[in-house]
Amino acid sequence: MPDTKKFIENLSGAGKCIGVLTSGGDAQGMNAAVRAVVRMGIYVGAKVYFIHEGYQGMVDGGDNIKEASWESVSSMLQVGGTVIGSARCKDFRTHEGRLRAALNLVQRGITNLCVIGGDGSLTGANLFREEWSGLLDELVQSGEISEEASQIHSALHIVGMVGSIDNDFCGTDMTIGTDSALHRIIEVVDAIMTTAQSHQRTFVLEVMGRHCGYLALVSALACGADWVLIPEMPPKDGWEEQMCYKLSENRADKKRLNIIIVAEGAIDQSNKPITTELIKDLVVRCLGFDTRVTILGHVQRGGTPSAFDRILASRMGVEAVLALLEASPGTPACVVSLCGNQAVRVPLMECVQMTQEVQKAMDEKRFEEAVRLRGRSFENNLNTYKLLSHRKIDSELPHSSFNVAVLNVGAPAAGMNAAVRSAVRVGITEGHTMFAVSDGFEGFYKGQIKEIKWGDVGGWTGQGGSLLGTKRTLPAKHIDKIAEQMRIHNINALLVIGGFEAYLGLMELQAARSKHAELCVPMVMVPATVSNNIPGSDLSIGADTALNAITDTCDRIKQSASGTKRRVFIIETMGGYCGYLATVGGLAAGADAAYIYEEPFDIRELQSNVEHLTEKMKTSIQRGLVLRNENCSENYTTDFIYQLYNEEGKGVFDCRKNVLGHMQQGGAPSPFDRNFGTKIAAKAMQWISKKLKEFYREDEGRVFANTEDSACLLGMRRRALVFQPVIQLKDETDFVHRIPKEQWWLRLRPLMKILAKYKTSYDVSDSGQLEHIVRLRAKDISAI
């Protein structure tokens, strides 16, 4: 069978010129995208040009269009906004303006454009592409370009990347800048919560989103807000009384503060705006609560990009260059987008049309359809919010008479508490009695089990660590006592939130079912560990927070090196034998190398890395960053690598080392981890409810589950959340090193090397298929 694999080595950009521009509102991560386009373009042999000030620079020409070099994008990765400038451009909307832009591009031989912006910028680019041959004909007629130049530059190829903090573009789960904007919002909300608590205040926060409520919705989910108002879901008539009732109910529940989040485009059923002042007056008038308004404004666009946005933008930038290299004259303009955790290409105009359809549906008050058109990711967020936010009165609840226990196992991971809160509240809504087990399986066999109620988990989403307490103890040695506790408390289902020990623990519980009927109940595990080393899931709760901790520290370390010059830092990251944090952290921080266990290295590779850094010190980038996973090699320790670099770099650079340690496990959870934990635990609880009904034996009056599929791991696989029997994951696991045998992120390693100027092999077989947006949305089940 012929090998159908496609490698970057076989794609050449020689003789091609690529122009890169940022347009419309700025978004954090745009610089990371520009850097990736420039470096990937140069890597494949193309010339890359900066087009400064967006379309205005393209129309004005001159110094606005400059060739980029490898060094010219150094230090851009950690900078917010867009270094090459962005402007709203009226000239480009005119035919005359586009004619001047075409002339400026042809004069420099640019026929490939990479546009980073919102739907307006991308629509403009597509119009430009459609008019291109006509514009060239006009330029030939006026004698500004020759017939020959017109022939050579006859086709204009366009690839878009969506840079928009609102996440208002259909066809991608996340746009560049959205995650960073959520970071800004959550930082503010966490800070406001402490002052609101002191004074028993109500805070009304306005976040950006004129036409899209994504930021408001996800930040409300991530901070456990009392009420949220978004344009896609205007509140039903009589919402004012309902909201005030909910706020007063929360106060009666000893909650000292209320948070209401409003999107700037929030409207009521009659399309009338709902403003923060209107809500403040309402709360003061009806409840007499001390109420304050905070409008976040442009703070949300500012600051440094999050680790997620840097990785997203870097992956998209590389994919955009591949798309331009593979484009033929008939290829439609495409957008590089994210589906689950895969980069895909979708036709630009399909995305734009669907984005416009959402607005049309909202204008015509077809709000349910607007939510559906936004995509499954938006819909899931909304459904999860509805599920968690409205506490039903006891008489409204279905009564199930089932008892469900929740426990944390393994090392603490940020986001565990958000998952516990979500599970408890969804469980109560489904009619179950929820029990919390303290200190993992150790607390379980000691009987540290007590009922946990709705109010007990209030304010948990923003807390780091594990409030239930967690231990690494495995259940096998204490299985008799655990079975006894299951009987005493009549536990009918188990939800285990944790890392590799949780995975092993679930296997041990399942294996003991033959001896203990008490363990024949539905069990599900949700992965939560900073190491991201759980088989059956591409991501685990806590890994994003750890990545941000690594990235922030690396930023500071790089800044300290910019003063001293000629300095290389060796940084040790956590992860056990799993190189996820070192690799993906390296990509987000712009590292020169990352040593991991999964990719064995020897002294020759270390030597070539030192030589590479020596060359780098001759340029204007006089600093280096090397990451090392804590268990990547028994003999090449952090100290050894530090001493080797120090010795070999004598007279060229000096070295410093830094072990990041437990700071990677601590801190407040990132918005992604809060949201991921909340959604995945809610889904796990719904699965438990379904299985309890399925395995309930009426004749015996008990739950009995002894099938493989009644002990599952819920993980994110490529594009969807999937339940997988733990027994079936055995073959996918390297138990000695506690890692999955196959790991998706290893495909990102060549990216890090390319962006650090190493020649490497990069399998691009996954790239290249243009997917249609409708099919994409059908597949996109439960995308995060």
Q: Which residues are catalytic?
A: 166
CA distance 371 to 598: 42
Q: Which residues is 437 bridged to in the sheet?
A: 407, 449
How far, in whole angstroms, is CA 685 from its chain's centroid?
Answer: 23
Query: Are 405 and 437 spatial neighbours (Cβ–Cβ below 8 Å)?
Result: yes
User: Exposed/middle/buried for 298, CB within 10 Å: 0-12, 13-18, 19+?
Assistant: exposed
Query: Are 533 and 576 spatial neighbours (Cβ–Cβ below 8 Å)?
Result: yes
CA distance 144 to 124: 23
Compute the Cα dihedral for 359, 361, 364, 366 and give only its sign: negative
For residue 462, the tally of other CB atoms under 10 A from its CB is 18
Q: Please, what's the largest Cα pairwise distance for the chain?
A: 92
CA distance 507 to 505: 5
- Give the Å distances, CA to CA, from 761 to 5, 42, 426, 460: 12, 16, 47, 45
CA distance 580 to 527: 15
Output helix, strand, coil percentages for the chain, rounded to the nearest 5. 45, 20, 35
CA distance 510 to 506: 6
Query: Are 190 and 462 spatial neighbours (Cβ–Cβ below 8 Å)?
Result: yes
Compute the Cα dihedral for 325, 330, 336, 341 and give only its sign: negative
CA distance 162 to 156: 19
Q: At what angle do helices 416-429 and 671-694 cross, to 10 degrees?
A: 40
Query: Are 388 and 689 spatial neighbours (Cβ–Cβ below 8 Å)?
Result: no
In terms of DSSP bridges, do strands 733-734 and 739-740 run parallel, antiparallel, or are they unpaired?
antiparallel
Structure tokens at 337: 């987008």
The three-state DSSP-derived secondary structure of 75-110 is CCCCCCCCCCCCCCCCHHHCHHHHHHHHHHHHHHCC
**Residues 6 or more apart from 659 whose CB is under 8 A from it?**
571, 572, 638
Element (H, E) at 495: strand 493-498
Structure tokens at 315: 């992956």
Structure tokens at 634: 């028994």
Rg value, the chain, Cα: 27
CA distance 41 to 317: 10
Instruction: Write the DSSP assignment of 298-350 as a string of letters.
Output: GGGG-SPPPHHHHHHHHHHHHHHHHHHHH--TTPPPEEEEEETTEEEEEEHHH
**CA-based nearest residue to 729, from 475, 503, 542:** 503
Q: Which residues is 344 bridged to in the sheet?
A: 337
From first CA to last CA, the distance across the chain in angstroms is 37
